[in-house]
A = this chain, B = another copy of it.
Amino acid sequence: MLTLALLLQAAANSPAIVAKSPGEIVAQAPSSDWVDIAADDLLVMQLAYGRRVVIQLMPPPFSQPWIANIRTLAKARWWDGTTVNRVQDNYVVQWGDATEKKPLPAGMIATNENYGVPREFAGLSNRVTKALGPSNNIIQYESFWRGFPLKTWGTPDSASTWPVHCYGMVGVGRNLSPDAGNGAELYTVIGHAPRHLDRNIALVGRVVEGIEHLSSLPRGTGNLGFYEDAKQRVPIASIRLASDLPEGERPRFQFLSTESATFAAYAEARANRRDAFFNVPAGGADICNVPVPVRRRP
């Protein structure tokens, strides 16, 4: 478990390495540091005019009931013909059935408000970016794990871990508690990390390609950024699991292993930019300012 302090120490001992930009560090990663994303974990959303958005679903143990529903909905082609209905500046883009009356497919799983998991269950080989504890007997840290940003908080006996709302993360719209959403109504973050949503909504994945097709949509002028005129809604041609597409049409992506030494160096460089443009390294980076690198599989 590398803390930021340790990373800084390592950096001080390796001046040749730290002058690289984060992008240069990633470009030089050995191929063994790149992790294939399984076709069953990729959700492919087709909008009009060839605009494609690809989402990586989150690995267990997080949000599994919603993710099972999302696979069910994709297999049922339930989203085909639905729309992007809400674009709120510096917040979220949201899509689903604007009528809220479209019948759901069979096999949907009931969900409840388990947005985090016990810390022991979350796996501990994660990369800690900000260790804030223990103080007052509270364990508190942010980390990356299998490509996703997490936060852990609580007493040693009861700490839990949950995914956090960074730019591009995908979550499940819901009504008031105890409703927890079913996965049919989804959104992605297109602004500063709305961390107040953490533990209040199920996060199910993140956009790995094409978020610009959502983030550049015209903002809705209705309450919460909903489009006021139905004609403004953006039609969704289809949403499929990559594994349900013909072999030749499947997008193939890799993410930089968040457990790799390359990722550690990348995160350190994001926290302390020393490449040519920068005069003063920041001394730290918000977890959401360390986006996990993704590439198309070479």
Contacts and interface: CB of A to CB of B under 8 A. Distances in A.
Given A167-B191, A168-B90, A282 B196 contact: yes
B289 A192 contact: yes
A286 B281 CA distance: 20
Contacts of A286: 192-193, 195, 286
Interface in A256-278: 270-271, 273, 276-278
A212 interface: yes
A168 B89 CA distance: 11
B216 A218 contact: yes
Given A166-B192, A167-B191, A289-B193, A199 B89 contact: no
Oligomeric state, in number of copies? 2
Given A89-B211, A212-B219, A289 B194 contact: yes
Contacts of A196: 270-271, 273, 278, 281-282, 285, 289
A132 to B, nearest CB: 10
Interface in A113-153: 113
A211 B190 CA distance: 13
Contacts of A168: 90
Interface in A64-104: 87, 89-90
A230 interface: no
Interface of A: 87, 89-90, 113, 166-168, 176-177, 191-196, 198-200, 211-212, 215-219, 270-271, 273, 276-282, 285-286, 288-289, 291
Closest 7 CB pairs of A and B: A212-B219, A199-B280, A167-B192, A89-B212, A196-B282, A196-B273, A90-B167
